[in-house]
Chain A
Amino acid sequence: MRFMACSNIMVKDEISSAGSKMLYNFKAPFGADVYDRCIGKGMEFAGLIETDEFGIDSLFEQNTDAAITAMLENRCDFVLCNDLFGKLQRQAPGHGLVYINPAYGAVSRQGLIPAVSSMDRIGVLCRNIDDGCRVISAISDGVSDFAKEIPDKATEYKDISQLKYTDIIPYVFYILASAEISGNTARYDGVKFGFRAENAQNLNEMYLKSRTEGFDRDTQLAIITGCMVLSKDNYNKLYHKAMQIRRLIAEHYTRLLDECGFLALSPSVTGKNNLERSVFCLLSSLCGFPSISMKHGDSERLFVYKG
């Protein structure tokens, strides 16, 4: 199989920029575990693909992701990605593609340029379930056989009153994600590697200019939000509260999954912004549940499992 990887997945000696000007010249000193595993299985590497900066989706824009385009142009059989904001899961079914998320922790994050450490995971954008399962088996230690659990399309979906917390999931997600993004991007300061702005008069100015010029809008928004929710005045009100709600969400949905085996949800719903549109993908990110986004019959479906 031929594969590509989003540029936040490091490939030794290749410029692995994670879509950021900050890392425009960052030649990875080692390769990601997933890359090594794929090569080890005899798969053929077809190159890195630009990604949204660090995999951070825009709040409002809805451009087609470069990974989707690469698949549609038939440049490879699958793409390794970190779809923590749900953008690829929203877009894949509409293009006849499948996105598979392994359970959090099932696939090594070593060599993935981090955004949100507690949710980052490497998933697979592919053409069908069989390809996807083969790749997930290759890059994780377990054997994945999601296909068995894909329901017959005649199955009834019922009782949506159990889908709780859907109004706050996007914002709990964003509070926690932005906090971790602010920490994980702190290393890009222009001191040691990557982009450094010119003409700074002193250290503080060098930091400010490098980070202002090096990060795009959505990353800067996430960093500012993250610093805000972690500040002394807001930590308990926002970050800590969001952690508590995350636990309630995880407990509720784990119980639900215990009862019914899997949930058949929608990868893209109507909403004011991309976070709200991705609400069920973000549920999977927050709780680390494995999931598959695909066309199922006439509907776009996001199947969520307990993992």
Chain B
Amino acid sequence: MKYEVVMGLEVHTELATKSKLFCSCSAEFGGQANENVCPACAGMPGMLPNANKRAIELGIAAGIITNSRITPTISFDKKNYFYPDLPTGYQITQLFAPICKDGYVDIETADGGRRIGLTQIHLEQDAGKLVHSYDLSLVDYNRAGVPLIEIVSKPDFRSAEEVVAYLEKLRQILSFAGVSDCRMQEGSMRCDVNLSVREAGSDVLGVRTEMKNMNSLKAIVRAIEYESQRHIDALETGSEILIQETRRWDDNKGVSYSMRDKEEAADYRYFPDPDILPIDISDEWIAAVKSTLPESAGDKFARITGQLGISEYDAGIITASRKLSDIFDKLTQKGLPPKDVVSWIVTELLSMDTQENKSNDDIDIDCDKFADLLLLVERKEINRNTAKKILSLIYNQNIDPIDYVAQNNLGMVSDTGLLEGIVSEVLAENPSSVEQFLAGNEKVSGFLMGKAMAKTAGKADPAAVRMILMEALGRL
């Protein structure tokens, strides 16, 4: 029997706002526990929610880049359930009039392109975080009230590969538009997978389970493989009866397990939140948001491969990461040649940190200093080798390249008179090498070149040294 796996995704991603969805507390990740908490997001009575305009604009932006329809009048609803990380006993979310509907995202896999439909995108509050230690459970409400969007796809996925391609695409378009920084490890992007299995060719869906708690792309792939096999085994051997339920993925053990019994099936008792008036989203507002969106990853790829002549391979690396893309923009804006910038980013900057689990979005470097460094190379004030060493110092110790070059006397030696003197010395000190060269062994010029560079402590302009050396040898 052949089987087909059918999956739909619910992706939660934190919006890149400065403050929370309904109060003015900082939405920043990290910090001391319960540092960014006020009476409103701690669930004290007597506080009224105030919708964050920026969060709504980022919701509109998410709709624009996913080809969605933006709802003309949105409203917020209460979703009621008890859990210690939920300070008010209800989550403010959108059930009846979500901000976006009917969008799609195009993905590429080895099997070609596919279009993934989106049912809706809605805005909601994040919950706090429980920290368990021994017999204690502690709650940190810093995250409580941070704005999220939940992107709900149609059941359009047929393989783990498609799921990964979709998540990478979402991360790319959302981070480029500045909607979210989409960091899975920090929990700012989370994904639930709804999965069912049916006989290939059937148009009836099988029993669906929802899996939560996958914290990386790898974990998602493993969870999908495990859960598909569990369903197939159940169908083939009847070893267990599948029920519609929520399951938790345990990545250490590599298994999923049931989260709650059917008796406790949640009834969230949604109803419109009377504390928040409906909000109109005019066409003008949508147009204004659209006009502020930065260049998309796709447009950027087309532009830098077309106009700037960057290779598709390099352009792919640059546009896969918002961070690299921003670095590229900042350096080229300073007048540095795009091809040189790409080469410095792809071959030098990316080799600075090869630690595991570091993504290109984790790279952190002062772009002004990076630009100063490349300008020094561009103006031939230092040579490339010196520059590589300084790049590492900027990356790791944030030194100032201009000061550093001056203090350590690393300026490139390109004074012709001085270099001619050095070349003469080298020739006089290495008569046997000179003889070999004259006898036709031209490789020896490399050895002589090295000797000359060493005499300048590596600071000479290699092109100038080579020219003077070859001229001198030619005159012999």
Q: Give the CA-CA distance A232 to B89 in the complex, in Å.
A: 18
In the complex, how many angstroms separate the beta carbon of B196 from the nearest chain A beta carbon?
22
Contact across chains for B271 and A29 when beta carbons are under 8 A apart: no
A1-55 interface with B by 8 A CB criterion:
10, 16, 18, 23, 28-30, 32
A188 neighbours in B (Cβ, 8 Å):
89
Q: Give the CA-CA distance A32 to B46 in the complex, in Å.
A: 8
Grouping DSSP codes into helix (H, G, I), strand (E, B) and loop, the A interface class, with mixed when no group exceeds half, is loop
B89 neighbours in A (Cβ, 8 Å):
183, 185-189
Q: Give the CA-CA distance A247 to B48 in the complex, in Å.
A: 24
Residue A171 is within 8 A (CB to CB) of chain B in the complex: no
Contact across chains for A230 and B44 when beta carbons are under 8 A apart: no
B94-115 interface with A by 8 A CB criterion:
none
Contact across chains for A186 and B39 when beta carbons are under 8 A apart: no
Q: Which stretch in B76-84, B279-287, B410-418, B446-454 binds the other chain?
A: B76-84
Q: Give the CA-CA distance A235 to B77 in the complex, in Å.
A: 14
Contact across chains for A230 and B43 when beta carbons are under 8 A apart: no
Q: Knowing A230-B269, A231-B267, A239-B271, say if A183 contacts B90 (CB, 8 Å).
A: yes
B33 neighbours in A (Cβ, 8 Å):
none
Residue tally, chain B, CB below 8 Å to A: 24
Binary interface encoding of chain A residues 197-220 relative to chain B, with 1 for a CB under 8 A from any of its CBs, else 0:
000000100010000000000000
Q: Give the CA-CA distance A191 to B86 in the complex, in Å.
A: 10
Contact across chains for B90 and A186 when beta carbons are under 8 A apart: yes
Q: Knowing A29-B44, A187-B45, say if A203 contacts B39 (CB, 8 Å).
A: no
Q: Knowing A30-B39, A117-B275, A232-B267, say if A186 contacts B82 (CB, 8 Å).
A: yes
A203 neighbours in B (Cβ, 8 Å):
84
Contact across chains for A110 and B271 when beta carbons are under 8 A apart: no
Q: Give the CA-CA distance A18 to B43 in the complex, in Å.
A: 16
**Chain B residue with minimal CB distance to A29?**
B39
Residue A169 is within 8 A (CB to CB) of chain B in the complex: no
Q: Give the CA-CA distance A231 to B271 in the complex, in Å.
A: 10
Residue A126 is within 8 A (CB to CB) of chain B in the complex: no
Grouping DSSP codes into helix (H, G, I), strand (E, B) and loop, the B interface class, with mixed when no group exceeds half, is loop
Query: What total of A-B pairs shows CB separation below 8 Å?
Result: 75
Contact across chains for B45 and A183 when beta carbons are under 8 A apart: no
Residue B23 is within 8 A (CB to CB) of chain A in the complex: no
Q: Give the CA-CA distance A116 to B139 in the complex, in Å.
A: 28
Q: Which residues of A contact B (CB under 8 A)?
A: 10, 16, 18, 23, 28-30, 32, 109-114, 116-118, 179-180, 182-189, 191-193, 203, 207, 227, 230-232, 235, 239
Q: Give the CA-CA distance A29 to B275 in the complex, in Å.
A: 20
Contact across chains for B46 and A10 when beta carbons are under 8 A apart: yes
Q: Knowing A187-B89, A192-B43, say if A110 contacts B80 (CB, 8 Å).
A: no
Q: Which residues of B contact A (CB under 8 A)?
A: 39, 42-48, 78, 80, 82, 84, 87-90, 139, 267, 269-271, 273-275
Q: Give the CA-CA distance A235 to B43 in the complex, in Å.
A: 25
**Chain B residue with minimal CB distance to A22?**
B45
B42 neighbours in A (Cβ, 8 Å):
192
B46 neighbours in A (Cβ, 8 Å):
10, 16, 28, 30, 32, 110-114
Select which of A186, A187, A191, A230 is within 8 A of B270 by beta carbon. A230
Q: Point out which of B39, B78, B273 has the most chain A C-beta atoms below 10 A from its C-beta.
A: B78
Contact sample, A vs B, 18 pairs, CB 8 Å cutoff: A23-B45, A29-B39, A110-B46, A110-B48, A113-B45, A114-B46, A117-B275, A182-B269, A186-B88, A187-B43, A187-B89, A191-B139, A192-B42, A192-B43, A192-B139, A227-B269, A231-B269, A235-B271
Given contacts A117-B275, A185-B89, 5 further A-B contacts (CB under 8 A): A16-B46, A110-B46, A116-B274, A117-B274, A235-B271
Q: Knowing A114-B46, A232-B267, A239-B271, say if A191 contacts B84 (CB, 8 Å).
A: yes
Q: Point out which of B39, B46, B267 has the most chain A C-beta atoms below 10 A from its C-beta.
A: B46
A232 neighbours in B (Cβ, 8 Å):
267
Q: Give the CA-CA distance A109 to B44 in the complex, in Å.
A: 14
Q: Give the CA-CA distance A179 to B44 in the complex, in Å.
A: 19
Q: Point out which of A114, A183, A185, A193 has the most chain B C-beta atoms below 10 A from its C-beta.
A: A183
A184 neighbours in B (Cβ, 8 Å):
45
